[in-house]
Amino acid sequence: MHPLASSCLTLNEWVCPAYVSTRSTELRLALLQHIELTLESVLLAFALSLPLAVAVRRSRRASEALLEISTALYTVPSLALFALLVPLTGFKPITVVIGLVMYALTVLVRNVLTGLAGVPAEVVEVARGLGMGPMRILLTVELPLAVPAIVAGLRVATVSTVALLTVGAVIGYGGLGNLINDGFTNFFKAEVLTASVLCVLLALAFDAALVLGQRLLTPWLRGRSS
């Protein structure tokens, strides 16, 4: 490497191309871990929130109880939650995933319930009049119409998961958070800034993917907006 190219490392500058080129493998592995843990957490939270919301949507009392429980879980500070989970699950990725799932549930349960509640009653009645059963109405009428609210919840849950995952660095599984933590510990400016920028870009990429997914799943909304 040319001396001028590595001078930013010697000077410990915030913007340092030499850091990116010399630590590319480390950055790639941290980014892949961040993506993997984010996807696992959000998908698991969605897989839990959808049937839970569907099960309680007809009962106001049950819906309120579910929302209260999920909201109570969200109030627990992330550091404290990980500390409470470590004695049970150890210093493993599953510890971070469990914590992130608990946080994402609050947003997803609320949005799924909101989306299903927003389906016009007359549309359901028409489907019922056509001879559709409850399950078919749910799958072909209610859930498709609830997609915008559900995707809105997924967007919030995913972006917040990308951010909260960095706290997982305290147990060694924080993805890009590991680099941010190491950078602050060693006062390595380029490491902090590069990992932080990648974290922001990752959140934007996930959000854009979800917006695109919603457009593909709701072609009738595109026609209405045009």
- At 53-85, the pLDDT tens digits run 999 888 889 888 988 888 888 888 888 888 889
Could you tell me if residue 44 is inside a domain? Answer: yes
- Stretch 212-219: mean pLDDT, rounded? 88
Residue 2 has pLDDT above 60, yes or no: no
Full-model pTM: 0.88
Burial of 190 (0-12, 13-18, 19+ CB in 10 A): buried
Could you tell me if residue 121 is inside a domain? Answer: yes
| 3 state SS of 72 | helix
Q: Collect all residues with Cβ–Cβ distance below 8 Å to 40 and sequence separation of at least 6.
A: 97
Give the CB-side neighbour count of residue 140, counting CA atoms within 13 A. Answer: 11
pLDDT band for 6, please (50, 70, 90 cuts).
Answer: low
- Predicted pLDDT at 121: 87
Question: Residue 38's domain is classified under what CATH number?
Answer: 1.10.3720.10
119-162 pLDDT per residue, tens: 888 888 898 888 888 899 898 889 999 999 999 999 999 999 99
Could you tell me if residue 141 is inside a domain? Answer: yes
pLDDT band for 226, please (50, 70, 90 cuts).
Answer: very low
Could you tell me if residue 222 is inside a domain? Answer: no
Q: Give the structural domain span for 212.
A: 27-217
Positive or negative, the Cα torsion across 22, 25, 28, 29? negative
Could you tell me if residue 226 is inside a domain? Answer: no
- Stretch 162-185: mean pLDDT, rounded? 92
Residue 94 has pLDDT above 90, yes or no: yes
Domain count, the chain: 1
Residue 90, H or E segment: none
Q: What is the largest CA-CA distance in the chain?
A: 77
Could you tell me if residue 61 is inside a domain? Answer: yes
Q: Collect all residues with Cβ–Cβ distance below 8 Å to 184 and sequence separation of at least 6.
A: 192
Could you tell me if residue 18 is inside a domain? Answer: no
Could you tell me if residue 33 is inside a domain? Answer: yes
DSSP state of 6: T
